């Protein structure tokens, strides 16, 4: 966020994330829950809202909801379903079964890689709507020639996760979604694919004078389908509000639409109040009261979550838990490699550096390769022991990450034969006798010449010498 546009103001962000659950079937019927099928093929009287059909709750969906709740440190509580009434073509029943005043999960928190905690107000269950496609008019409803509706998604189970307004920048909001996605994927409850709509983010943005603790009037922004859009939308919206307030106007509470093409938010509709939806208890479902044993069993089966993994990696490598390399390594699922290095008593800090820089960069371009931990540890050792220079180690690492194999064999193929200290000493002696004048000056204390000699050693060995070792040897030789 640029400081000049926001100077004197603080941005306040809260997020509502809808997450589709990875169940086999929909929330209240046996229709398949799968992305990308032929439109209107996974439908039945229940999810089409035909008269006389009755919903039956999907137990797997409840289990996923509990996993999410406990992973977010929420209280899992007895809850009930409500009807949220509104009319829209993508909702065949003209109401959505959701949870209202008693959600299954309440009062939790999520820890960002920075260590900051963001409060979770609730994480409730509800069903998804169908999907409308506007044909013509640039895909927007205004100016469209006609619209198509696909009910395959109607009735797909969702958990809606509502945060406290605890975020203070676009970056923090992005970190939150990134972290939440990692948690959802780790629990197995969702595939977390933003591009397929499995994860959909709405964002509440307000601003207030720096130092103020009161909340300003917020706008809700919809239609951001990437982390990049989310960040851009928040920056734009905050600056827009600064302009409104600075020119003596007031922010109107409304829902705004993010337009990726023009990089702006546009007023969509004035914000609905809860009473607009005429919530009432869903008469066709009993209340939901998972037993304590079930909740405990679900919780016990949760995997180690990203925040804890970061703590473990940081401790193992002896660095700060909030540090960038640790977050990167855990985000990419490379922490097992750091831990393998620790277990083998090799240089974990070096392993962390190589993974967070070289390997992370390479994976960003090429996708994930199955990296063999033992072989990786061997390579870390080769670099640490000076068998390879750091430049050579990075070259070997690149080939190793791309194609696997044995680091020693790769090094040999690349001509990075380990240079023994004997051989290095020989090269150093040759270089000294070939440059007596310079050696005289170096011996008398002209330390600048160390670079000259190291360069000569490098040339004499065809780049194979460990330059750090060569430097040490030259200094030692001078002192003798
Ligand atoms: Zn159905
Ligand atoms: Mn919702």
pLDDT, tens digit, 9 for 90 and up, residues 235-248: 999 999 999 999 99
From ligand 2's centre to the CA of 131, what distance in Å? 15
Structure-token match 């797997």, residue found? 60
Annotate 94-137 with DSSP letters as a single string: SEEEE--SS-SEEEEEEE-TTS-EEEEEEEEEEE---EEEEESG
From ligand 1's centre to the CA of 26, what distance in Å? 7
From ligand 1's centre to the CA of 147, what distance in Å? 22
From ligand 2's centre to the CA of 220, what distance in Å? 13
d(CA 5, CA 239): 6
Q: What is the pLDDT of residue 369?
A: 65
Question: Which stretches of 404-466 are DSSP H helices?
Answer: 407-413, 421-434, 436-443, 449-460
Q: Are strands 219-224 and 254-259 parallel, antiparallel or unpaired?
A: parallel
Average pLDDT, the chain: 92
Q: Residue 38 — pLDDT band, cuts 50, 70, 90?
A: very high
Tens of pLDDT along 279-334?
999 999 999 999 999 999 999 999 999 999 999 999 998 988 888 999 999 999 99
From ligand 1's centre to the CA of 87, what distance in Å? 19
Instruction: Give the CB-side neighbour count of residue 258, counting CA atoms within 13 A.
Output: 26
Which ligand is closest to the CA of 41, given by its number? 1
Partnered with residue 105 across adjacent β-strands are 76, 123
What residues have a C-beta under 5 A from ligand 1, the ion? 29, 31, 44, 46-47
DSSP secondary structure letter of residue 198: S
Tens of pLDDT along 369-417?
689 999 999 999 999 888 888 889 999 999 999 988 999 999 988 888 6
From ligand 2's centre to the CA of 18, what distance in Å? 7
What residues have a C-beta under 5 A from ligand 2, the ion? 160
From ligand 1's centre to the CA of 98, what distance in Å? 17
From ligand 2's centre to the CA of 104, what distance in Å? 14
Q: Residue 271 — pLDDT band, cuts 50, 70, 90?
A: low
Q: What six digits make up the tokens of 227?
A: 């982390």
From ligand 2's centre to the CA of 20, what distance in Å? 11
Tell me the range of 214-223, 357-366, 454-463 where mean pLDDT is highest: 214-223
- Residue-wise over 440-453: b if at least 16 C-beta within 10 A, else e? eebeeeeeebeebb
Three-state secondary-structure class, residue 268 = strand
From ligand 2's centre to the CA of 98, what distance in Å? 7
* Domains detected in the chain: 3-300 (no CATH), 306-413 (no CATH), 421-479 (1.10.10)
Q: How far apart are the first and last CA of the chain?
A: 58
From ligand 1's centre to the CA of 444, what distance in Å? 88
From ligand 1's centre to the CA of 182, what distance in Å? 29
Q: Which of 117, 213, 214 is nearest to 167 (CA)?
A: 117
Q: Which range is least confidently modeled, 66-70, 104-108, 223-227?
A: 223-227
From ligand 1's centre to the CA of 195, what distance in Å? 24
Three-state secondary-structure class, residue 17 = strand
Partnered with residue 109 across adjacent β-strands are 119
Which ligand is closest to the CA of 48, given by its number? 1
Q: Are strands 75-76 and 219-224 parallel, antiparallel or unpaired?
A: unpaired
């Amino acid at each position: 966020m640029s400081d000049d546009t926001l100077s004197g103001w603080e941005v306040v962000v809260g997020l509502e994330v809808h997450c589709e659950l990875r169940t086999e079937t929909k929330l209240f019927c046996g229709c398949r829950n799968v992305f990308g099928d032929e439109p209107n093929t996974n439908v039945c009287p229940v999810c089409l809202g035909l008269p006389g059909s009755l919903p039956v709750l999907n137990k797997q969906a409840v289990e996923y909801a509990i996993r999410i709740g406990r992973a977010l440190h929420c209280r899992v509580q007895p809850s009930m379903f409500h009807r949220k009434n509104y009319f829209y073509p993508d909702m065949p029943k003209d109401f959505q079964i959701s949870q209202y005043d008693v959600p299954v999960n309440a009062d939790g928190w999520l820890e960002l890689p920075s260590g900051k905690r963001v409060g979770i107000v609730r994480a409730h269950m509800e069903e998804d709507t169908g999907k409308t496609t506007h044909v013509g008019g640039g895909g927007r409803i205004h100016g469209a020639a006609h619209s198509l509706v696909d009910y395959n998604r109607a009735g797909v189970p969702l958990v809606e996760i509502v945060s406290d307004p605890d975020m203070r920048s676009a970056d923090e909001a992005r970190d939150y979604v990134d972290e939440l996605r990692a948690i959802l994927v780790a629990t197995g409850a969702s595939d977390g694919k933003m591009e397929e709509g499995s994860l959909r983010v709405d964002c509440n943005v307000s601003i207030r004078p720096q130092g103020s603790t009161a909340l300003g009037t917020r706008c809700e922004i919809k239609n951001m389908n990437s982390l990049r859009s989310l960040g851009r939308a928040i920056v734009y919206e905050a600056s827009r509000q600064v302009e409104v307030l600075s020119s003596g106007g007031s922010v109107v509470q409304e829902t705004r639409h993010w337009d990726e093409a023009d990089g702006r938010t546009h007023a969509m509709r004035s914000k609905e109040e809860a009473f607009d939806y005429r919530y009432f208890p869903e008469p066709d479902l009993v209340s939901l009261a998972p037993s304590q044993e079930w909740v405990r069993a679900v919780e016990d089966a949760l995997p180690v979550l990203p925040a804890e993994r970061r703590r473990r990696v940081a401790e193992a490598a002896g660095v700060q838990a909030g540090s960038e390399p640790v977050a990167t390594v855990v985000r990419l699922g490379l922490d097992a490699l750091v831990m393998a290095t620790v277990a083998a008593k090799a240089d974990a800090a070096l392993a962390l550096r190589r993974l967070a820089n070289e390997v992370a960069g390479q994976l960003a371009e090429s996708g994930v390769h199955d990296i063999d931990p033992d072989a990786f540890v061997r390579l870390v050792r080769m670099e640490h022991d000076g068998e390879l220079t750091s430049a050579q180690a990075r070259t070997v690492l690149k080939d190793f990450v791309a194609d696997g194999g044995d680091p020693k064999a790769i090094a040999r193929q690349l001509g990075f034969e380990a240079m023994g200290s004997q051989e290095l000493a020989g090269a150093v002696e040759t270089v000294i006798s070939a440059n007596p004048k310079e050696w005289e000056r170096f011996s008398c204390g002209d330390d600048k010449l160390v670079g000259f000699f190291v360069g000569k050693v490098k040339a004499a060995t065809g780049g194979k010498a460990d330059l750090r070792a060569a430097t040490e040897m030259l200094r030692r030789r001078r002192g003798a």
